[in-house]
Structure 1
Amino acid sequence: MRQFPKRKNRGENEIEYGRALEIDSKEALERFLQFFDSPAGSEREGSELPPRLKAIELENFKGVGERIRIELAPVTLLFGANSAGKSTILQAMQYVREILERRNANPDRTLYGGDFVDLGGFRNLVHQRDLSRRISIKLELELNRASLPDLVPEPWEEWQAGQTFDEQGIWDFHNLVQETRDRTETVSIQLEVGWSDVKQAAVVVGYEAGANGEWLARITASEDGRDVAIRLNKDNPIFLRYTIVEDLYALGDLDGWVDRGDIEDAPASKKAFFATDFLRSASPEDPTEVTDSSEQFDGDDEPENSMAYSVLGTMLYNVREAGMESPGQGLRQWLTGFDSALPHLGQLLAIPGSSKGGAANIYITREFTAFLSSMVVGPAMVIRDQLRKLRYLGPIRNVPQRGFEAALTPDEARWADGTAAWESLLTGEASLVDQVSEWMAHKDKLATGYELERRAFKEVDVGMLNWLLRAADPDAGVRSDPKLLRKLADTPEKLRLDLIEADTGMRVQPRDVGIGISQVLPVVVAALEPSASLVAIEQPELHIHPAVQVGLGDLLIKGSKENGISFLIETHSEHLILRLLRRIRETSEGELPPGIAGVSPEDINVLYVERSDAEQVVIHPIAIDESGKFVGRWPRGFFPERMYEALPKEIRARVDAKRRGDE
């Protein structure tokens, strides 16, 4: 007997099934070839890269009223005047993290910012502080080498396979749900948060999970969070397949068991068939002939004049036949235990099992529960995990005290003032210290004039020190003292960071040098320490010379290209962007200096943020071409202050008059 189907190990080392391939018909060969035409059967683009947040959409959040979408590149730069709304994107990510991590839709302090960040709660976050509005935030993620979490029910004993007479049916269903899930390349979640007058609290009233650019499941809740319903999108790309007649006829009529409105909501041009749709439109003489009333699927990767059908219907047919009770209107029977629209992360949906019994029926309903839970809850889990790896570095970084020691308990909030950067240098790998030192000192990098060194030492009392000095003198005649030697060996080792002047070799402490060094060093650590997925930095150029600001551009390129880190940078530095533009031009012309990774316009996203006359946050993307030049004009010119200051006095007067409207 073949081995009973097991789940794949969803880690990096995937365990393949030990099942022989059997092709006994033309139809079976067609299925096999179609599998290799799908994303699941081919090497997925970007599969060697870590997962990456690719976009965020905001509506009714802070200064954002109407919905806006912000694409996130490996390096995203936010320019604009003070209080224009540049921090809005970062605060939205912190808000989503609080909701997913602590189910807190009304936060003030955050996991990222600690005492450094105060969101002020829902009243302060909702646009114009209007409690009748609902905040909407959507995040999109490229999975790349990651995958959706495998939410597994209680263990299934392999011996139970022998209790069924339909082993082939189990294999078919198992392979169907696995192949469907493996088609997922991108995921998204959208949270809708409103104020509940009943609870006097903010409540997640809407949750949407998406896959491959389309919504897959939408959960809605009443204001008090008690009445929760879900809809599924049978036309999501992961469910669509080419028409195979025997599969279409295998489907029964689901009407009466599930409400069709709970599993579809797509434009007509993208609508896929269920079996019943196909059968109603097929010619009685030839069931393979579809009448003109049928619709054609117009996806980019499908053969011309092909028709798509949704395998969601096949799955639902199987679980119905396995004895699963009707989920009722709004699929409410599957949402037991919900107190809002937000699923409980890491938990299976409460989908009832088979009422018929039997190993095959139990397995199919369990497998469907795990599959649907992974597709509905999984996107929030992988995005939460990415937000856990977000590193926030605020605009004012702390200068360590003399004799600074790392805290015993890690706290991500200490990144906000830069303290965690110094702790990483004390407790992290020696290679990190070497990299940071090179970037700080090398003439082709930041060239700050300071190297960095980590030293280990032990504190001993004066009596032991005097004994060690005498013992080191061969003429002193001091005998060995085992107790003192044991005490010295048991004395704990401590670590200290020193800055070393490159010219003189003098060791100094951070408080002995200019403020710029202590401000830029945490930026360097954040870019080189590879455990983060997204690093958000406010004003990395603060207190540092323009020549150092230029070098930050190369630092961001290294962090994104070699460590897979995405950067979200709020900045006023023209020197930083000029270096990035230069590297784009040098890449296209093949003139990059040795050791610098190539960079394209797609790697850099420049956004100009301003407030409209109606006090709405407006974000202008500034495109870049292959020559490293901006395409189009900046809303207010590219750093016009520099040109203004260089104008003769009489021309400045005319410019001022024009600004006042005198001319």
Structure 2
Amino acid sequence: MQIKSITIQNFKGIRRKAVIPLAPVTMLFGANSSGKSSILHALIYLFEVIVNRNADPEYSTITGEHLYLGGFKELVFGKDINNTITLGMDLDTSDDLDVFDEFISEAERNLVEDNTGWYPDSQTDNPSFELDIKWNNLDNKAYVSEYRSFVNGKPFITLQVEKGQKSVFASYIDVYHWPVADIFENLADSIKEGLWGPIPFHAGDTALPDATDRLKLDFVPWDWSAFFDEHPLAAKVFAEASLSQGLLGPLRLLQKKFAGLVHIGPLRVVPKRSFVAKRSPEKSRWYDGEAGWDGFYHGSKTLQQQVNEWYQLHFNCKYQFINAPKGYGVALTDTQNSYALLPSQVGAGVSQVFPFVVAAMKSDIGIVSIEQPELHLHPAWQVELTDLMLTQTNEFSAGKQFFVETHSEHMVLRLLKRIRGGHEQPLPFEAAQVQIIFCEIHEGETRIRSIGVTPDGDFNTAWPNGFFEERDKELF
């Protein structure tokens, strides 16, 4: 599965609604404090909402206490609790359709098919959703007030909950955008015409549906025999399974995708002599890079070989990484004289980029979010980071994605070169594999613009102020 875009509104410095296109490799550019990190933090916040169902996180399980989020009151635009944070995603699920079979048991499937002839196997390659997060001053907490799901860009189901209420209802259902039995078209017409009013779905104080369980339509204001009098139970089961596939299937896929999300911060630690690698580290250890050393030490021989080959062949590095002889962590050997060294005994760039290389190589990591991977790196190594990302997105068919905040023009220049087919091309790359996002401050808020790459390896729009222009000023 691929995340095709992220929608952000009223989050940190981003006031206006922005639909930000994402690709296997997405690079975020802009001046300092222009809002680049806000996009990555929105991803982390959405993780907390979707996976941990926490709309008011002070810290994230992804970053631990390394990154202070501060909860809704700190994250909402202008720190105004009367504002509503809107987040959403557009997904490409064309490679992950098995999830749509998880909302009905074999016995229920037989019940439906034997008694109705209907087959509850609807699917779409392009589901999307948006959710609104508000502050409830009655209970002093943030909550998801509205959840909107879409099928191929068209509204499908909208769930809502009123502040202080404990009942979630559907204010909109349109099954015309979701293939179900023709017999339910009358139901769709009745709902769209408002004949039933809001449809109660389940008890709760959040509009975010629970993707771990099928929808329960136990309290609807109609009799199922009105739609299929031969077997009302079969009609109810069919409706629950079909609607769940469209509403909850994408959430399940996203939760699986988020299980492979790591975020690496801008400053990575250099392991000390006493460093002990953890076999099952917390995700928060990725923020300062420690989990990269954990992953290498306890990783497979194949992973260790791939990391060392990248350093040798692409970085032209004379060091190789090995498990420390005394079992504490990772050491290095100088290939020219076989001396064993600690990470602190070599140049900072060697160890600073190490967690990123490991994360890129690990097959169980689906999303790598990183701030400034180029720190302490020579330009010759910076350009190789672009090749690393492009190569790994081709390597993994599961849809590996990189979201990178960077100031490196060397990385983007290599990207353009690979798209237009530079010499020594390691793999065929396409413009659709990359997306460049530029952030800038305008009238006190973050403005975001998308800069695409043409098949000829050039920008499809003029590059904003800074970066390449600054270099030209110094040269000429």
In structure 2, C-alpha distance between the alignment counterparts of 1:157 and 1:127, rounded to whole Å: 47
Q: Which amino acid aligns with 2:66?
A: F
What's 1:479 paired with? none
Contact 1:231 1:262 in 2 (8 A): no
What's 1:24 paired with? none
Contact 1:52 1:533 in 2 (8 A): no
What's 1:259 paired with? 191
Q: Which amino acid aligns with 2:456?
A: S
Contact 1:209 1:380 in 2 (8 A): no
TM-aligned CA deviation for residue 416 of structure 1: 0.8
Contact 2:420 2:456 in 1 (8 A): yes
Q: Establish whether residue 610 from structure 1 lines up as the match of residue 440 from structure 2.
A: yes
What's 2:273 paired with? 402
In structure 2, C-alpha distance between the alignment counterparts of 1:602 and 1:156, rounded to whole Å: 43
What's 2:457 paired with? 628
What's 1:531 paired with? 364
In structure 2, C-alpha distance between the alignment counterparts of 1:497 and 1:254, rounded to whole Å: 63
TM-aligned CA deviation for residue 122 of structure 1: 0.6
Deviation digits for residues 55-109 of structure 1, max 9, x if unmatched? 0111111111111111001111111111110011111111111112222111111
Q: Establish whether residue 513 from structure 1 lines up as the match of residue 354 from structure 2.
A: no
In structure 2, C-alpha distance between the alignment counterparts of 1:389 and 1:137, rounded to whole Å: 20
TM-aligned CA deviation for residue 348 of structure 1: 2.2
Q: Establish whether residue 103 from structure 1 lines up as the match of residue 53 from structure 2.
A: yes
Q: Taking structure 1 as reference, are residues 449 and 362 closer, same or farther at Cα in structure 2, changes over 3 Å only? A: same
Q: Which amino acid aligns with 2:197?
A: Q
In structure 2, C-alpha distance between the alignment counterparts of 1:601 and 1:374, rounded to whole Å: 32
In structure 1, C-alpha distance between the alignment counterparts of 2:53 and 2:417, rounded to whole Å: 44
Q: Secondary structure at the match of 2:193?
A: helix
Deviation digits for residues 559-604 of structure 1, max 9, x if unmatched? 1111242111100111111111111121xxxx5426x111122211
Deviation digits for residues 301-347 of structure 1, max 9, x if unmatched? xxxxxxxxxxxxxxxxxxxxxxxxxxx42111xx1322221112212
Identity of aligned residues (%): 31
Q: Taking structure 1 as reference, are residues 390 and 236 closer, same or farther at Cα in structure 2, changes over 3 Å only? A: farther
What's 2:303 paired with? 432
Contact 1:126 1:135 in 2 (8 A): yes
In structure 2, C-alpha distance between the alignment counterparts of 1:196 and 1:72, rounded to whole Å: 32
Q: Establish whether residue 640 from structure 1 lines up as the match of residue 473 from structure 2.
A: no
What's 1:208 paired with? 148
Q: Which amino acid aligns with 2:63?
A: G
Provide the TM-score with structure 1 as the length reference: 0.66
Contact 1:262 1:331 in 2 (8 A): no
Q: Establish whether residue 340 from structure 1 lines up as the match of residue 206 from structure 2.
A: yes
What's 1:321 paired with? none
What's 2:62 paired with? 112
Of 223, 228, 233 in structure 1, the residue corresponding to residue 163 of structure 2 is 223
Q: Secondary structure at the match of 1:114?
A: coil
What's 1:58 paired with? 8
Q: 1:467-482 maps to which residues of 2 (within 5 A)?
A: none
Deviation digits for residues 5-32 of structure 1, max 9, x if unmatched? xxxxxxxxxxxxxxxxxxxxxxxxxxxx
Q: Establish whether residue 416 from structure 1 lines up as the match of residue 304 from structure 2.
A: no
Q: Which amino acid aligns with 1:448?
A: C
- Which ranges in structure 1 are unaligned for 5 or more consecutive residues? 1-50, 242-246, 264-327, 460-493, 648-663
Q: Which amino acid aligns with 2:436?
A: V
Of 184, 200, 215 in structure 2, the residue corresponding to residue 349 of structure 1 is 215
What's 2:199 paired with? 331
Contact 2:127 2:149 in 1 (8 A): yes
TM-aligned CA deviation for residue 412 of structure 1: 1.0
What's 1:572 paired with? 407
Q: 1:159-308 maps to which residues of 2 (within 5 A)?
A: 169-170=115-116, 172-173=117-118, 175=119, 177-178=120-121, 181-182=122-123, 184-234=124-174, 237-239=177-179, 258-261=190-193
In structure 2, C-alpha distance between the alignment counterparts of 1:634 and 1:251, rounded to whole Å: 51
In structure 2, C-alpha distance between the alignment counterparts of 1:92 and 1:581, rounded to whole Å: 27
Q: Taking structure 1 as reference, are residues 168 and 385 closer, same or farther at Cα in structure 2, changes over 3 Å only? A: closer
TM-aligned CA deviation for residue 508 of structure 1: 0.8
Q: Secondary structure at the match of 1:87?
A: helix
TM-aligned CA deviation for residue 123 of structure 1: 0.9
In structure 1, C-alpha distance between the alignment counterparts of 2:434 and 2:106, rounded to whole Å: 47
Deviation digits for residues 527-570 of structure 1, max 9, x if unmatched? 11121221111100001111111111111111111124211110
Q: Taking structure 1 as reference, are residues 344 and 157 closer, same or farther at Cα in structure 2, changes over 3 Å only? A: closer
Of 290, 296, 317 in structure 2, the residue corresponding to residue 448 of structure 1 is 317
Q: 1:33-112 maps to which residues of 2 (within 5 A)?
A: 51-112=1-62
TM-aligned CA deviation for residue 635 of structure 1: 1.6
TM-aligned CA deviation for residue 362 of structure 1: 2.3
TM-aligned CA deviation for residue 496 of structure 1: 4.6
Q: Taking structure 1 as reference, are residues 351 and 508 closer, same or farther at Cα in structure 2, changes over 3 Å only? A: same
In structure 1, C-alpha distance between the alignment counterparts of 2:279 and 2:363, rounded to whole Å: 21
Contact 2:146 2:160 in 1 (8 A): yes
TM-aligned CA deviation for residue 235 of structure 1: 6.1
Contact 1:453 1:499 in 2 (8 A): yes
The one of the two structures with greater contact order (alpha-carbon pairs below 8 A, sep at least 6) is 2
Q: Which has the larger radius of gyration?
A: 1
TM-aligned CA deviation for residue 452 of structure 1: 1.8
Contact 1:132 1:195 in 2 (8 A): yes
Contact 2:169 2:202 in 1 (8 A): no
Q: Establish whether residue 599 from structure 1 lines up as the match of residue 435 from structure 2.
A: no
Q: Secondary structure at the match of 1:202?
A: strand
Q: Secondary structure at the match of 2:133?
A: strand
Provide the TM-score with structure 2 as the length reference: 0.91
Q: Secondary structure at the match of 1:156?
A: helix
Q: Secondary structure at the match of 1:414?
A: helix
TM-aligned CA deviation for residue 167 of structure 1: 7.0
Q: Secondary structure at the match of 2:149?
A: strand
Contact 2:307 2:358 in 1 (8 A): yes
Deviation digits for residues 369-399 of structure 1, max 9, x if unmatched? 1222232222222222212221111101111
What's 2:246 paired with? 375
Misfit runs of 4+, over 6 Å = 353-359
Contact 2:81 2:134 in 1 (8 A): yes
Q: Taking structure 1 as reference, are residues 338 and 258 closer, same or farther at Cα in structure 2, changes over 3 Å only? A: farther
TM-aligned CA deviation for residue 502 of structure 1: 3.0
Q: Secondary structure at the match of 2:202?
A: coil
Task: Give the superposed CA RMSD.
Answer: 2.7
Q: Taking structure 1 as reference, are residues 222 and 509 closer, same or farther at Cα in structure 2, changes over 3 Å only? A: same
In structure 2, C-alpha distance between the alignment counterparts of 1:145 and 1:95, rounded to whole Å: 26
Q: Secondary structure at the match of 1:118?
A: coil
Contact 2:178 2:246 in 1 (8 A): no
Deviation digits for residues 493-524 of structure 1, max 9, x if unmatched? x4753212233332211011121111011111
Q: How many residue pairs get matched?
A: 468
Q: 1:10-25 maps to which residues of 2 (within 5 A)?
A: none
TM-aligned CA deviation for residue 617 of structure 1: 0.6
Q: Which amino acid aligns with 1:115?
A: E
Contact 1:149 1:382 in 2 (8 A): no
Q: Taking structure 1 as reference, are residues 643 and 410 closer, same or farther at Cα in structure 2, changes over 3 Å only? A: same
Q: Secondary structure at the match of 1:379?
A: helix
